[in-house]
């Protein structure tokens, strides 16, 4: 039986490895700027695919100020999304995952209201995360909060795979299983990503984690519990092609759940026996590799021993 903490550790490792090349869609530029990313690296400006120059967020009231000293970088061309993070450091959603893990692990139970209070406190605390970019769902949540909505009503129907980033943390912190855990995951993810596709993906992710924990092989668990997203015949055909063709031509490397979740499952299936190869492949596929890493890293971490070098290089471990 695997240790549930390995799922969270694997997700953190995959995110930290992908962080410097997060949202690189130009694979030639990725290799030019960073070469073979097989160890933790610090991000560098300029980021050739950055869209921060097109991103705008102006809080309507102080309660919605979640950019703090990073706001001055929005609107500027070439700014790296994670420019102030260091090698081995995690991006915002995974720092939130660690906060969730510690809260639930300490309390011995999950409390949605307690989590939302902690989430709001962390995001409003200047310097808490040092990440320049904050995803759309954070901005929408705090805009709704500023307009007077209750915490539990501030989430939106966000369609991005970033909604799965905290699932490994909840899995690692809880002892519950079966329908109880799956229902908890669904309720938790819906607080910020109340989108049917994201909720379905979160529950499939939870089912796979539970199955691997009890001894089902990862490949078998993927096809058994995510059949709507993954197919053995299809994956076997794709495996004849380079990863960058599968995730780039057959599936988009972007953050939208309809392609991002199958892409993460495919890499988890293909590299089921090798943690390092899987997270390195995910990194080099570019796009939203950090949030795909929540799935790839967690599943491979449950199936394999995580090499010590990855854990020792993390800036923060749960």
Looking at residue 105, which CATH number applies to its domain? 1.10.4080.10
- What is the average per-residue pLDDT within 68-85? 96
Does residue 92 lie in a domain region?
Answer: yes
State which residues form the domain around 64: 5-313
Does residue 274 lie in a domain region?
Answer: yes
Does residue 124 lie in a domain region?
Answer: yes
Is the predicted pLDDT of residue 26 greater than 90, yes or no? yes
Q: What is the pTM of this model?
A: 0.97
Q: What pLDDT shows up at residue 176?
A: 84
* Number of compact structural domains in the chain: 1
- In SS3 terms, 269-280 reads as HHCCCCHHHHHH
Does residue 248 lie in a domain region?
Answer: yes
On the question of a cis peptide bond just before residue 46, with omega within 30 degrees of 0, the verdict is: yes
Q: What pLDDT shows up at residue 1?
A: 42
Is the predicted pLDDT of residue 9 greater than 90, yes or no? yes
- What is the average per-residue pLDDT within 126-132? 95
3-class DSSP state of 165: coil
Does residue 188 lie in a domain region?
Answer: yes
Give me the phi and psi of 162, to 5 degrees please: -55, -20
Does residue 49 lie in a domain region?
Answer: yes
Question: pLDDT of 254-286, one tens digit each?
Answer: 999 999 999 999 999 999 999 999 999 999 999
DSSP string across 88-155: TPPPHHHHHHHHHHHHHHHHTS--HHHHHHHHHHHHHSTTSS--S---HHHHHHHHHHHTT--GGG--
Is the predicted pLDDT of residue 154 greater than 70, yes or no? yes
Does residue 157 lie in a domain region?
Answer: yes
Does residue 318 lie in a domain region?
Answer: no
Question: pLDDT of 186-242, one tens digit each?
Answer: 999 999 999 999 999 999 999 999 999 999 999 999 999 999 999 999 999 999 999
The pair of three-digit structure tokens given for residue 32, joined into one six-digit string: 């030019």
Within a 13 Å sphere around the CA of 73, how many CA atoms are in the beta-carbon half? 22
% of residues, the chain, pLDDT over 70: 99
Give me the phi and psi of 241, to 5 degrees please: -110, 160
Compute the distance between CA of residue 30 and CA of residue 139 in angstroms, rounded to an integer.
28
Q: Which residues of 37-57 are buried (b: 16+ CB within 10 A; e: fewer)?
A: beebbebeeebebbebeebeb
């Amino acid at each position: 039986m695997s240790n549930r903490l390995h799922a969270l550790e694997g997700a953190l490792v995959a995110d930290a490895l992908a962080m410097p090349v997060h949202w690189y869609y130009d694979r030639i530029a990725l290799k030019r700027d960073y070469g073979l990313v097989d160890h933790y690296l610090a991000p560098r400006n300029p980021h050739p695919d950055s869209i921060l120059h097109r991103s705008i967020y102006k809080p309507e009231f102080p309660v919605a100020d979640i950019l703090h000293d990073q706001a001055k970088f929005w609107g500027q061309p070439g700014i790296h999304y994670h420019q102030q993070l260091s090698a081995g450091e995690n991006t915002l959603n995974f720092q939130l995952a660690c906060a969730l893990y510690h809260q639930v692990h300490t309390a011995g139970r999950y409390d949605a209201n307690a989590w939302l209070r902690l989430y709001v406190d962390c995001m409003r605390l200047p310097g808490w995360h040092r990440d320049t970019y904050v995803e759309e769902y954070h901005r929408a949540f705090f805009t709704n909060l500023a307009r007077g909505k209750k915490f539990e009503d501030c989430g939106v129907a966000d369609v991005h795979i970033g909604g799965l980033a905290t699932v490994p943390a909840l899995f690692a912190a809880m002892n519950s299983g079966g329908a109880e855990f799956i229902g908890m995951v669904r309720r938790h993810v819906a607080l910020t990503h109340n989108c049917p596709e994201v909720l379905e993906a979160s529950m499939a992710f939870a089912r796979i984690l539970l199955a691997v924990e009890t001894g089902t092989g990862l490949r078998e668990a993927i096809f058994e519990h995510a059949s709507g997203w993954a197919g053995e015949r299809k994956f076997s055909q794709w495996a004849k092609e380079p990863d960058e063709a599968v995730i780039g031509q057959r599936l988009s490397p972007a953050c939208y759940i309809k392609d991002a979740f199958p892409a993460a499952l495919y890499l988890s299936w293909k590299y089921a026996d090798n943690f390092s190869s899987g997270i390195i492949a995910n990194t080099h596929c570019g796009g939203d590799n950090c949030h795909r890493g929540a799935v790839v890293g967690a599943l491979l971490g449950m199936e394999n021993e995580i090499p010590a070098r990855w854990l020792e290089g993390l800036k923060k471990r749960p």
